[in-house]
Amino acid sequence: MADMHNEPPPGMVEKRGSGLWLTHVLMIVGVLVIFFPIWLAFVASTHTQQEIAQAPMPVMPGSHLIQNYSDALFSGVNVPVATMLVNSLVMALGIALGKIAISLLSAFAIVYFRFPGRRFFFWMIFITLMLPVEVRIVPTYEVVAGFGMLNSYSGLILPLIASATATFLFRQFFLTVPDELAEAARVDGARPMRFFFDILLPMSRTNIAALFVILFIYGWNQYLWPLLITTNPEMNTIVMGLKQMFPSGDDIADWPVIMATSILAMIPPVIVVISMQKLFIRGLVDSEK
């Protein structure tokens, strides 16, 4: 089939000449249109406030890149953007690794043990799928406030950490692991946790990596939850703090710094997605199954 794809017999499936050329042109136009908002943000992050305020703003980068980015990173508006980047990183890593860890353990328990209530617990985890944070914001906020976890990393991470999706994914994968491996481990007298760490975990590497890409982006891009529980600017995440950089009332927003911040806010997830593209696509498809 691949050969046919490369050299289509003439007249069968047109993939030549003007058709191909037109396809490329349309594709490039599509990519440009999709990219335009990001390009414009980047351009704005390299100009002065005056240059941007003079409509129409330039469409090519200016000379203030370093100044705007260092302004953003080290002074920011309410808090240096560097601080918000660290907070976002802690939150995204905490959520991604936390979800993976507790899901691996639960999937292991559900697949490799028989114990009373197994089915019940499985369904309990399943039902969390139906309780997104947007649906339970006020009571969840009250719980977190009750624990004194407002403005803390644990408050940012813990309430988002249960994961039905990750648990299912690992369960699915464990079920495909040959029984002989567990049998051999049992005959050798290996304890369950030994089997888990020495055999199951190394075998799950690719699944873990693929899931990590998806969950890192999920954690990094959270907005509503940090908005509710981080009243102290020192604890703001970058995605949520971006909006806080806009002045209230009629003051003019500091667009160059705001746009530099939005570029900084998208760089880490973009790097993760682009550099781990194959894993990302795999994770995307897997986690939606």
Contacts of 215 (CB under 8 A, 6+ apart): 95, 96, 99, 100, 163, 166
Q: What is the largest CA-CA distance in the chain?
A: 77
Distance CA 160, CA 219 (A): 9
The nearest distance, CB 108 to another protein, in angstroms, is 6
Q: Which is nearer to another protein, 115 or 205 (CB)?
A: 115
The nearest distance, CB 78 to another protein, in angstroms, is 15
The nearest distance, CB 272 to another protein, in angstroms, is 7
Q: Which is nearer to another protein, 15 or 70 (CB)?
A: 15
Handedness of CA 194, 196, 200, 206 (dihedral sign): negative
Q: Which is nearer to another protein, 161 or 208 (CB)?
A: 161
The nearest distance, CB 68 to another protein, in angstroms, is 14
Q: With contact defined as beta carbons under 8 Å apart, do 216 and 272 qualify?
A: yes
Distance CA 215, CA 223 (A): 14
Q: Which is nearer to another protein, 211 or 259 (CB)?
A: 259
Tokens found for residue 38: 């990001």
The nearest distance, CB 102 to another protein, in angstroms, is 4
Q: Which is nearer to another protein, 65 or 121 (CB)?
A: 121
The 3-class secondary structure across 241-286, one letter per residue, is: HHHHCCCCCCCCCCHHHHHHHHHHHHHHHHHHHHHCHHHHHHHHHH
Q: Which is nearer to another protein, 83 or 287 (CB)?
A: 287
Q: Which is nearer to another protein, 66 or 187 (CB)?
A: 187
The nearest distance, CB 198 to another protein, in angstroms, is 14
The nearest distance, CB 159 to another protein, in angstroms, is 4
Helix (H, G, I), strand (E, B) or coil at 152: coil
Q: Which is nearer to another protein, 19 or 247 (CB)?
A: 19
Between helices 277-287 and 255-275, what is the axis angle to 10°? 80
Backbone angles phi, psi at 250, to 5 degrees: -95, 0
Q: How far apart are the first and last CA of the chain?
A: 27
The nearest distance, CB 148 to another protein, in angstroms, is 14
Helix (H, G, I), strand (E, B) or coil at 14: coil
Distance CA 224, CA 227 (A): 5
Helix (H, G, I), strand (E, B) or coil at 110: helix
